[in-house]
Structures are given as structure tokens and as C-alpha cells.
């Protein structure tokens, strides 16, 4: 089955610890994204990657880091510098990130990871 997987589903972290969230896709998509969702709110973009070995900051990148060493994987590290990390984290991918005339940017989402800081 093709799709996006995120692990773990629930994650608990002590204050001051770094934690890494996994995101894997077997859709052969070039672009991958990380979003944060807080209760009762929409999605906010943390980081995105258009191709392997390249990634860009989104709207709320402070306190987060990513890597894109393989096309199918885009792990997100929540560092101790993130002051309010408790949230629902969503990973997504799209065929390509380019938005040039007529290109879709439909993003497919994983099931999410709920991170709680204790």
C-alpha cells in the first residue's frame, strides 16, 4: 500500500529533551512538509523540502530542525529551544513542490504524531 506513515502516534517528552518524529512516504513524492496543529486551530508550516538534501524554513521553524537525506524520509527534531512543543504534528508530501502553471500541489497527509511535554 502506498502512503505516508508517521511514528510514533503518541510521544511524551520531558522538558529540556530533544525528540525526533519520523515521517516516511513510499509515494515517490519529491516534496515533503511538516506542520504543527494546536487545538482548535489550523495547520502552520514548520519546514518543507522540495528535493533531497534541500529544505527551507516555514512560518514557525524556531526550535525545530529537519534533514532530508533520502527522498522517502523527512524526520523532524523538536529541540529544547522550542518553548511550547505540545501539539499535534502532521507530515505531508506532494508529487512536486513546483507551482508553475497548471501544476497541482495537492498534499497527502500522514496520520500525525501527538507530542506531549511532561
Residues at the site binding another protein, with contacts judged by CB under 8 A: 4, 35, 39-45, 48, 50, 90, 92, 94, 97-100, 102-112, 114
Shortest Cβ distance from residue 99 to another protein (Å)?
3
Shortest Cβ distance from residue 94 to another protein (Å)?
8
Instruction: Using the minimum distance from each CB to another protein, give the nearer residue, 28 or 103.
Output: 103
Instruction: Using the minimum distance from each CB to another protein, give the nearer residue, 72 or 96.
Output: 96
Instruction: Using the minimum distance from each CB to another protein, give the nearer residue, 69 or 106.
Output: 106
Provide DSSP, the chain: ---EEEE-SEEEE-TT--EEEEEEE-S--SEEEEEEE-TT--EEEEEEESSTT--EE-TT-TTEEE--SBTTB--EEE-TT-S---EEEEEEEES-----TT---PPEE---EEEEE-
Instruction: Show the cell assigned to 105.
Output: 500541489
Shortest Cβ distance from residue 79 to another protein (Å)?
24
Instruction: Using the minimum distance from each CB to another protein, give the nearer residue, 1 or 106.
Output: 106
Amino acid at each position: 500500500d502506498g502512503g505516508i506513515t508517521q511514528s510514533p502516534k503518541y510521544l511524551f517528552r520531558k522538558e529540556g529533551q530533544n525528540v525526533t518524529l519520523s515521517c516516511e512516504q513510499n509515494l515517490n513524492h519529491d516534496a515533503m512538509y511538516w506542520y504543527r496543529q494546536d487545538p482548535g486551530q489550523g495547520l502552520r508550516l514548520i519546514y518543507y523540502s522540495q528535493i533531497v538534501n534541500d529544505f527551507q524554513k516555514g512560518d514557525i521553524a524556531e526550535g525545530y530542525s529537519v534533514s532530508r537525506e533520502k527522498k522517502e524520509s523527512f524526520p523532524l527534531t523538536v529541540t529544547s529551544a522550542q518553548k511550547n512543543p505540545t501539539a499535534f504534528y502532521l507530515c505531508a508530501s506532494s508529487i512536486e513542490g513546483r507551482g508553475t502553471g497548471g501544476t497541482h500541489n495537492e498534499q497527502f497527509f500522514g496520520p500525525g504524531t501527538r507530542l506531549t511535554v511532561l
